[in-house]
Amino acid sequence: MQSEHESTVIALRGWHPAISRAEADAMFPEANIIQTEARRLVLAEGESDWSLANIMSGCECVLTGGGIAKWSSVEELLSLIHCEKKEDMAIECWRHEGKLPVATKEIERQVGGIFHDLGSTFNLDNPSHRFGIILDASAGYVAWGWMIGQGPGKHGWAAMRANKRPFFRPVSIEPRLARAAVNIAAGTRSGYVVDPMCGTGGILIESGLTNRPTLGVDFDPVMVDGAKENLQWAGVIAEVKRGDATRMELPESLAAVVVDPPYGRNSQGDVKLLEDTLSNICNQKSECRLVIIMPCEAGKDNLDEMVTCDVELPGFDIEVAYGIPVHKSLGRVLIIASISPQD
């Protein structure tokens, strides 16, 4: 088993690896993100602010000072790991995409033994340093390194679901999708994240939780009051006001626009509303990053990867679109776009 690359490894969550890769591209712009054969493990060449993994939806963690290799045996893995004495550390091994023929506890025991022999001390409850090992059966890979980020299963999305909020509507956006959309749209740029059709405030909550300045507008006063109530429940500071998305004044400093527009009640009216909203943005800004989430039919494409998008966004160039399964007859599509260059 030879190490394929001595580089930083980004471990992605399994709910939508394609969107998670787009999020990594946006949040680590200085790094060159390279897909491996394992769908949830990507290499990152160069340096970036890896601590941003802590606010990402689709990133389990970043593994630094380690590597990635084809799985062979525990003995071969031990020969590849560079161990050094660390105070107050822990070791965590977990799986992606099925099982390789080895117990995670056995790997933790043997790797821990090497660190112990070097004089390392351990703290399993609240360690200062965490060494992670990932067994990925999708392509028979193992990755390892010092962890930056939350790790597997420690995301807390269940507690933030829309139906937990005091003001709820069935069409409310899922928190992890809202967080990913905000991160993809805004990346590391400074300025406001704006949702011109904020509804119950799901996008505003996730933007505010990343400490970005955030502005939401909605024409319906019931939604405005409900969004404010939800923001208070989440402990988030954001501006929310009643207004018309087609006429609202955008902040001078704008990082991105993220919108999950209302749809389904009046399809022609919905299209006109969206077109006029985009026109308003283009009339005020020469540059703008946009992420928009829209419904689509399920079954035509592989909704877990990039999809063909026949939506037109006047004034904007569509960069890429990703399908999101909802149920067997309905999907959604996350579209990444930017204002078309002017001649």
Other CB atoms within 10 Å distance of the CB of residue 240: 23
Out of 5-14, 57-66, 251-260, pick the least confident: 5-14
- Residue where one domain finishes, among candidates 92, 115, 148: 148
Same domain, 133 and 85: yes
pLDDT tens by residue, 251-305: 999 999 999 998 754 456 688 999 999 999 999 999 999 999 988 776 555 555 7
The C-alpha angle with vertex 253 and arms to 248 and 257, in degrees rounded to 5, equals 55
Indicate if 8 and 113 belong to the same structural domain.
Answer: yes
**Residues 103 and 235 grouped into a single domain:** no
Span 170-228, pLDDT tens digits: 878 999 999 999 999 999 999 999 999 999 999 999 999 999 999 999 999 999 999 99
- pLDDT score, position 327: 75
Domain boundaries, position 333: 158-339
Residue 203 within a domain: yes
Residue 165 DSSP code: S
- pLDDT reported for residue 5: 46
In a domain, 258, yes or no: yes
4 pLDDT above the threshold of 50: no
User: Over 80: is that where the pLDDT of 21 sits?
Assistant: yes
- Whether residues 140 and 288 share a domain: the answer is no
Nearest to 292 by CA among 232, 328, 342, 338: 338
Q: Does residue 64 lie within any of the structural domains?
A: yes
23 and 98 assigned to the same domain: yes
- Looking at the fold, whether 246 and 191 belong to one and the same domain comes out as yes
| Residue 53 placed within a domain | yes
More confident residue, 298 or 73: 73
* 111 pLDDT higher than 60: yes
Q: How confident is the model at residue 310 (pLDDT cuts 50, 70, 90)?
A: confident
- Is the domain of 197 the same as that of 89? no
For residue 125, is it within any domain? Answer: yes
pLDDT exceeds 60 at position 249: yes
Among candidate residues 14, 301, 336, the one with its CA nearest the CA of residue 157: 14
Residues 223 and 274 grouped into a single domain: yes
Domains of the chain: total: 2
> Do 10 and 77 meet the contact criterion of CB atoms below 8 Å apart?
no
The CATH code of the domain that includes 117 is 3.30.2130.30
Is 334 part of a structural domain of the chain?
yes
Residue 153 lies in a domain: no
CATH number of the structural domain spanning residue 306: 3.40.50.150
326 & 205 share domain = yes
| Whether 196 and 334 share a structural domain | yes
pLDDT above 60: residue 121: yes
pTM of the model: 0.94
The mean pLDDT of the chain is 91
Residue where one domain finishes, among candidates 126, 148, 170: 148
Q: What is the pLDDT of residue 271?
A: 86
pLDDT higher than 50, residue 3: no
CB distance 100 to 140 below 8 Å: yes
Q: What is the pLDDT of residues 133-170, one digit of tens each?
A: 999 998 999 999 999 999 987 677 777 888 899 999 88
